[in-house]
Chains A and B, each alone.
Chain A
Amino acid sequence: MKIASKENSAVKMVKEALEKAKKYESYNIFVSLNEENALRKAEEIDAKIAKGEPVGRLAGVPYALKDNFLSREGNTTASVKILAPFKSPITSTVVRKLEDEGAIMIGRTNMDAFAHGSSTENSYFGPTKNSKDTERVAGGSSGGSAVAVALDIVEFATGSDTGGSIRQPASFNGVYGFKPTYGTVSRYGVVAMASSTDCMGFFTKNTDDMDLLMEIASGQDPYDMTTLPDYYSTTEPKAAKKIGVIKEFDNDAVNPEIREALKAKTEFLKSKGYEIVELSMPTLKYALAVYYIVVPAEVASNLSRYDGIRYGYRSEEAKDLSEIFAKSRNDGFMPENKRRVMIGNFVLSSGFYDAYYLKAQKARTKIIEEYNKAFSEVDYILTPVAPNPAFKLGEKVNDPVAMYLEDVMSVPINLAGVPSLAVPAGETKAGLPIGLQIVGPRRSDKNLINFAKELEEK
């Protein structure tokens, strides 16, 4: 990406980004724009450049912020009513690191409320439209961020990926989306969804930008005790030889054009001398059920903090303390938020805990073991991101299980905590983007991003 310089002013870049954001208003990409602050910061960077002072590695680069990253600029809503009035008093670590390098947030992007969803239709502010077909969903939960990059409004955007929320919208819009190894990028200052699978990452237009953003954003953070000691920048280069494909993912439930796209890429890799290895991972078919037990349980716990008292929306009708909780939460949450919290409390309640929650955590162990075994045989695994390209708006929004089934190929990665990069892999005949994902062993993030270049057909 191009950074600000004497020839390329930050003000010009920021103004252009803001103009494009307004031009595409009908896509409902942004919850709010950060016009005044963005222009002021751009002027400051231009002034520094004029004086010959050093500027950061992202100087003047306009970016879009998923609206669950806390920052002191504007409201942090997570696209949910209960947080709509919330002005954060703190800055998330990711935002701080990006801004320290001179990146300029031009707007906050729409998402499924609390990041619960796969289409951005669960937003309190209405759905975001797909960049290629406005009758179709943007994907989710980070739909606004994906479309902002796909429509070239910004150079990059942030996202959070708990079960595919970066990779799936990236694949629905034909851009790169990276979910790092769990613990590589700080979760501090991001609205918590499921603490054992939440990962922060980015949307970009190419792999070099992704690598640069990971150099900047990764690293141990004293504010997030689950961050790993720095390893990203010091990763030893390792050339890949063997690429795995998963036998169980090659079935009739997957769109034939996506299966063809995967086959075309494996043939391409073969022609470049890579060995393609078919893997059997029979437990992966249970990963979706495991995910929709473990994640709602963590959601029920994490969302119990919204009380209508300390911050956010409070119901006007509440008369006593218990009504403040129950009415503010009921009014303030979207239907999918309620489903997940209630399922979470169901699987955690006595009588069901062993059969659902404990069982799922045992299954999680088996899923992790399958990945460990796979990575003893291959360097990376190549699979589709989702079984279908972007679906129609309204098609699945009232049928949660149909919506969940779209996550079947993205959630196992989060349960195992391994990294995965969604890469564009052509389009369907109808012109909808197809995405594949490259999955690697823990801490292989940097080499994995570099390997993605091998899939590009020049």
Chain B
Amino acid sequence: MKITREEILHLAKLSDFELKESEIDGLSKNLEDIIGYISELNSLDTEGVEPTYQVFEMENVWRDDEIQPQEANREDLLALTKEQRQDQIKVPKVL
């Protein structure tokens, strides 16, 4: 399957990557190879088979909706950010 430049840029946009020009050709080749390989799955008959999304055998683990003490406090978490003001994370203007 041939991947066009537009398709690579579209996938990069969906993935939030601002690719450098020098990366595009190499990535196109890699993705073509990978998609070529995973497309081999087409030859497997899965007619009437139910999908499996998880291999965890239990369902509905309940807990009380109560606030529990946490290891990390607000100061710890804010200390990880580049900019903060009044106990909030500061980001560039959105609108």
Residues of A near any B CB (own CB < 8 A): 86-87, 89-91, 182-183, 196-197, 222, 225-226, 228, 283, 286, 288-290, 292-293, 300, 304, 309-312, 314, 319-321, 323-327, 329-330, 333, 335, 338-339, 341-343, 345-347, 349, 355-356, 358-366, 368, 399-401, 404, 415-417, 442
Give complex CA distance A330, B17 in Å: 5
- The chain A residue with its CB closest to the CB of B46 is A362
> In the complex, which residues 8-31 of chain B have their Cβ closer than 8 Å to any Cβ of chain A?
8, 11-12, 14-20, 23, 26-27, 30-31
Whether B80 and A311, one on each chain, are in contact in the complex, defined by CB atoms closer than 8 angstroms, is yes
Q: List 11 A-B contacts (CB under 8 A).
A: A91-B71, A225-B61, A289-B38, A292-B34, A293-B41, A309-B81, A309-B91, A338-B15, A346-B11, A356-B41, A366-B44
| Docked CA distance A299–B79 (Å) | 27
A327 with B14: CB separation less than 8 A? no
Contacts of A362 in B (CB 8 A): 46, 49-52
A196 contacts B53, C-beta separation under 8 Å: yes
Binding site for A on B (CB under 8 A): 8, 11-12, 14-20, 23, 26-27, 30-31, 33-42, 44, 46, 49-58, 61, 63, 70-73, 76-77, 79-82, 89, 91-94
CA distance A333 to B16 in the complex (A): 11
Q: Say whether A89 contacts B55, CB under 8 Å.
A: no
Determine the chain A residues whose CB is within 8 A of the CB of B27 once the complex forms.
335, 338-339, 342
Return the contact of A345 from the options B14, B81, B91 (Cβ within 8 A): B14
Q: A89-B72, A345-B11, A400-B30 are in contact. Are A323 and B50 (CB under 8 A)?
A: no
Taking a contact as CB atoms under 8 Å apart, the answer to whether B34 and A343 are in contact is: yes
Q: Please indicate the chain A residues that have their CB under 8 angstroms from the CB of B44 in the complex.
A: 283, 286, 359, 363, 366
Docked pose: A346 CA to B58 CA in angstroms: 30
Q: Are A364 and B52 in contact (CB under 8 A)?
A: yes
Which residue from B11, B31, B92 sits with its C-beta under 8 Å from A320? B92
Contact between chains at A339 and B31 (CB < 8 Å): yes
Contact B41 A290 (CB under 8 A): yes
By a CB distance below 8 angstroms, the chain A residues around B82 are: 309, 314
With A361-B51, A364-B52 known as contacts, the answer to whether A319 contacts B92 (CB < 8 A) is: yes
Report the nearest A residue to B90, measured CB to CB.
Answer: A309
Identify the 5 closest CB pairs spanning chains A and B, nearest first: A417-B55, A361-B51, A89-B72, A89-B76, A326-B18
Known: A226-B54, A321-B92, A368-B55. 14 other contacts (CB 8 A): A89-B72, A89-B73, A89-B79, A91-B71, A228-B57, A329-B18, A330-B18, A335-B26, A335-B30, A339-B27, A339-B31, A362-B46, A368-B52, A417-B55
Residues of B within 8 A of A320 (CB): 92-93
CB-contact partner of B17 in A89, A290, A338, under 8 A: A338
The answer for the CA separation of A228 and B94 in the assembled complex, in Å, is 43
A interface: dominant SS: helix
Taking the closest CB of chain A, its distance from the CB of B94, in whole angstroms, is 6
Once the chains bind, are B49 and A365 in contact (CB under 8 Å)? Answer: yes
A89 in contact with B77 (CB, 8 Å)? yes
Contacts of A333 in B (CB 8 A): 17
Q: Using known A-B contacts A358-B51, A361-B52, A404-B37, determine if residue A342 contacts B31 with beta carbons closer than 8 Å.
A: yes
Are A343's CB and B92's CB within 8 A? no
Contact (Cβ within 8 A) A366 B49? yes
A residues less than 8 Å from B56 (CB atoms): 182-183, 226, 228, 417
Residues of the A chain whose Cβ atoms lie less than 8 Å from the Cβ of B70: 90
Interface contact B37-A292, CB-CB below 8 Å? yes
List of A residues within 8 angstroms of B79 by Cβ: 89
Q: Judging by beta carbons under 8 Å apart, are A401 and B71 in contact? A: no
Please give the distance in Å from A437's CB to the nearest CB on chain B: 18
Contacts A225-B61, A330-B18; A363 near B92 (Cβ below 8 A): no
Residues on B with beta carbons closer than 8 Å to the beta carbon of A324: 91-92
Once bound together, how far apart are the Cα atoms of A188 and B78, in whole Å?
21
**Chain A residues within 8 Å of B17, by CB:** 326, 329-330, 333, 338, 341-342
Partner of B81, one of A310, A335, A346: A310
A288 to B31, CA, bound (A): 16
Min CB distance B20 to A, Å, is: 7
B68 (CB) vs chain A CBs: closest residue: A222
